Amino acid sequence: MASHIVGYPRMGPKRELKFALESFWDKKSSAEDLQKVAADLRSSIWKQMAAAGIKYIPSNTFSYYDQVLDATSMLGAVPPRYGWNGGEIGFDSYFSMARGNASVPAMEMTKWFDTNYHFIVPELGPDVNFSYASHKAVDEYKEAKALGVDTIPVLIGPVSYLLLSKPAKGVEKTFSLLSLLPKILPIYKEVIAELKAAGALWIQFDEPTLVLDLDSHQLQAFTAAYAELETTLSGLNVLIETYFADLTAEAYKTLTELKGVTAYGLDLVRGTQTIELIKSNFPKGKYLFAGVVDGRNIWANDLASSLSTLQALEAVVGKDKLVVSTSCSLLHTAVDLVNETKLDDEIKSWLAFAAQKVVEVNALAKALAGQKDEAFFTANASAQASRKSSPRVTNEAVQKAAAALKGSDHRRATNVTARLDAQQKKLNLPVLPTTTIGSFPQTLELRRVRREFKANKISEDDYVKAIKEEIKKVVDLQEELDIDVLVHGEPERNDMVEYFGEQLSGFAFTVNGWVQSYGSRCVKPPIIYGDVSRPKPMTVFWSSTAQSMTKRPMKGMLTGPVTILNWSFVRNDQPRFETCYQIALAIKDEVEDLEKAGINVIQIDEAALREGLPLRKSEHAFYQKWAVHSFRITNCGVQDTTQIHTHMCYSNFNDIIHSIIDMDADVITIENSRSDEKLLSVFREGVKYGAGIGPGVYDIHSPRIPSTEEIADRINKMLAVLETNILWVNPDCGLKTRKYAEVKPALSNMVAAAKLLRTQLASAK
């Protein structure tokens, strides 16, 4: 019985690629140095999978930034502003598209389906001259083969590539991206021909958009694309991989009727209903790559349950046609549990990271083939039973409090217009008030202080003194820049979710459980294993300390319940909304303690609210109802004069704008600049928004420093569709990933732009 892995984490067990990338970007190392680190990581991954007994090992899932950007490079679809003149795309053009450069901004970045991974959105139009401009897929296949590992090269499928793209600036929004299919398929044919010539026996096309709500025209594009590729693909085994949700009956029919396709990869963890489609009608002679090992969470697989599912499927598709696989790429999980030295043995026994999931896949394949490892299965069953019965998982008081939430919508008693009036009397802010989103640059010295405190190398007194000094520096800088509503810079926090999870019960933490978010940016999601509560205040000391350093309003900075949920590895033994309500009650306690401590502006970030939106429209309403309700729970008890902010970033918000309004925050700051001001189109189309709003005026994920004039122009575009008295001026997101040499001039220009507009507005009266 064969086994398969959809994809594997790229960063390395100790984030080796992250550090190599940042060293290269900072011009501290060469392209050759970066390439060597990457080659070593790829070699290690391929050999590890081969040693574990995996038959179908993927290649070309490694990326220096993002796999969709790799496809853009392969197709030569470089926007003209980057000055690429043809030939093989090098690091200069590649990283300029991803990060921008001194003269031009980066391409838009958005969330990869409903994950916390991000991809670079292709910008396409009728005038794009596609050409075969990156041979990475072929090069990596040959590289693995030279190491003695025969792999399945993986490509983003042509239809998904186009459906994930957007019309370039200047191209009509109604332009049909699928009309470009005849232009990109010749490039795919060249790649396929080279892979065949190099000896490839299989090829994997990732077509995850098949799980979305597609119309007949979009489904027909898959049929047309693979019919056109059929001759070129002749002689290859072709796997079409889907993931993250069920397939509709129409999509399943389209998939299983594609020309020239040998195998179908299906997510049977998040796509449990797809199993019924398989049982009712699976094409004879085709392979099923059954994704029964979860690629998006860190819980050990219930091997007995998965084996039962596989045995039922084996009866449908045939013993020699069933391949055990992961539900999706393991990119979305941590790398290796072996590196976790501080997790206690009980919790550790409940978990499986990428390396352990590879072993689980192979163990299931061997069991199906009659070579069951009884000891491995027995240990797994024991761990499953331990997790179900452990007293540390359940807190009856928390469950009772969460159950009592039913029957109320937890809205503040006064409407937002009246609240804003009361808040303005107290805060006395100017027109177009300026603020930032929360974090300030995390310097090497600051990271050293936190690291040494965690390792007990410095005393708590020394730690508190160092953090206070950093807060004072950030406060003084903001006052010098004349920012209106200040933040303390979050120097005590390495990560916005990890910081809160460490102080809440029901959470566990890893040492090296890093997961890539985008580029070199990695996050270390907490593990929610049990009921959640707040034993004591979490931020009150630092916020009060910061407020004592200034007469200007100081924001209390919290992470909202939906974002904590969506940016954690969440327990899978109860519905997600129940866990979210528990977190909301814990944050509510913190909000009310901040208010009692004299903090008049409290920001409750819901950066990840949109990314949790289910992929199926039929499931949107239920998710939005409990997610928005969870946010309102956190602040329903504060006074009218306490201003509640929230922040959202890097998603397509237009389809949830009414839920955003229903959150009933006093002010929302929201990503806008990198997505080409897509957000503003909602207001142009007539949506009325009465609360305060700060669409980001510049992209903080690029080192580029925008001019005062550029920012003023953005603010003017906002003023064309938003009332002057509700508009705030702020960056797109937090500043922790930037350097002070970039932050100071950018914020200075931002404040100058706001003042320029204030003067113009005053003189126009």
Burial class (CB in 10 A: 0-12, 13-18, 19+), 660: buried
Alpha-carbon dihedral of residues 15, 21, 26, 29, nearest 10 degrees? 100
Q: Give the other-Cβ count within 10 Å of 515's Cβ.
A: 24
Give every residue of the chain whose pLDDT is below 50, as ranges. Answer: none
DSSP reduced 3-state for 396: helix
Note whether 246 and 271 are within 8 A (CB): yes
How far is residue 498 from each of residues 470, 487, 504, 524, measured CA to CA in Å?
Answer: 20, 19, 10, 7
pLDDT (tens digit, 9 = 90+) per residue, 37-66? Answer: 999 999 999 999 999 999 999 999 999 999
pLDDT given for residue 193 in this prediction: 98
Distance CA(151)–CA(685), nearest Å, equals 49
pLDDT value, residue 6: 98
Does residue 48 contact residue 57 with C-beta atoms inside 8 Å? no
Cα 49 off chain centre by: 26
What pLDDT is attached to residue 684?
67
> How far apart, in whole angstroms, are the C-alpha atoms of residue 355 and residue 351?
11
299 DSSP 8-state letter = B
The angle at the Cα of 11, spanning 5 to 17, to the nearest 5 degrees, equals: 140
CA angle 217, 220, 226 (to 5 degrees): 150
Q: How far apart are CA 559 and CA 646, in angstroms?
A: 9
Its pTM stands at: 0.91
Going by the annotation, the residues of the binding site for Zn(2+) are 647, 649, 658, 662, 671, 733
Cβ atoms < 10 Å from Cβ of 113? 18
**8 Cβ neighbours under 8 A, 6+ residues apart:** 45, 49, 58, 61, 329, 330, 331, 354
Residues annotated within a binding site for 5-methyltetrahydropteroyltri-L-glutamate: 18, 116, 521-522, 567
**Cα separations in angstroms, 264 against 285, 325, 358:** 12, 11, 20
DSSP 8-state class, residue 351: B
How far apart, in whole angstroms, are the C-alpha atoms of residue 430 and residue 708?
A: 19
- How much is the pLDDT for 651? 56
**Tokens read off for 261:** 């396709």
Which residues, in sequence order, are CB contacts of 414 under 8 Å at separation 6+?
A: 422, 640
Please give the single-letter amino acid code of residue 492: E
Cβ burial, residue 173 (10 Å; 0-12/13-18/19+): exposed
User: DSSP characters for 610-634?
Assistant: GGGS-SSGGGHHHHHHHHHHHHHHH
Bind-site residues: 18, 116, 437-439, 490, 521-522, 567, 605, 647, 649, 658, 662, 671, 733
Number of alpha carbons in the 13 Å side-chain half-sphere of residue 231: 4
Strand-pair partners of 65:
none
Assign 722 to helix, strand or coil.
coil
Angstrom distance (rounded) from CA 499 to CA 736: 14
Binding residues for L-methionine: 437-439, 490, 605
Going by C-beta distance under 8 Å and a sequence separation of 6 or more, which residues neighbour residue 710?
698
Residue 516 DSSP SS3 = strand
What one-character DSSP code corresponds to residue 679? T
651 by Cβ neighbours in 10 Å (0-12 / 13-18 / 19+) ranks as buried
The answer to whether the beta carbons of residues 679 and 76 sit under 8 Å apart is no
Q: Quick one: pLDDT at residue 610?
A: 86
pLDDT confidence of residue 679: 67
Cβ-contact 643, 422 below 8 angstroms: no
Q: Give which of 447, 451, 454 is closest to 470, Cα–Cα.
A: 447
Residue 677 has what pLDDT? Answer: 63
Task: Report yes or no: 171 and 70 within 8 Å, Cβ to Cβ.
Answer: no
Burial 426-464 (b: 16+ CB within 10 A, else e): ebebeebbbbbbbbbbbeeebeebbeebeeeebeeeebe
Domains of the chain, each with CATH number or no CATH: 2-59+134-389 (3.20.20.210), 408-764 (3.20.20.210)
Dihedral sign computed on CA atoms, order 689, 690, 693, 697: positive
Paired with 435 in beta bridges are: 485
d(CA 362, CA 54) in angstroms, rounded, equals 6
pLDDT digits (tens, 9 = 90+) for 257-287: 999 999 999 999 999 899 999 999 999 999 9
Matching residue, tokens 């575009």: 717
**What is the reported pLDDT for 675?**
61
- Beta-bridge partner residues of 265: 241, 289
C-alpha 557: how far from chain center = 21
Q: CA-to-CA distance for 601 and 429, rounded, in angstroms?
A: 12
**Residues that are catalytic:** 701
Measured at the alpha carbon of residue 421, what is the angle toward residues 420 and 426, in degrees to the nearest 5?
Answer: 95
Instruction: With beta carbons less than 8 A apart as the criterion, state whether 735 and 557 touch.
Output: no
CA angle at 380 for the pair 379 and 384, rounded to the nearest 5°: 120
Q: Which residues, including other chains, have CB under 8 Å from residue 668's CB and lie 6 or more apart? A: 645, 646, 647, 648, 660, 691, 692, 693, 694
Q: Evaluate the CA torsion angle 169, 174, 177, 180 in order and state its sign.
A: negative
pLDDT at 689: 83
Burial class (CB in 10 A: 0-12, 13-18, 19+), 66: buried
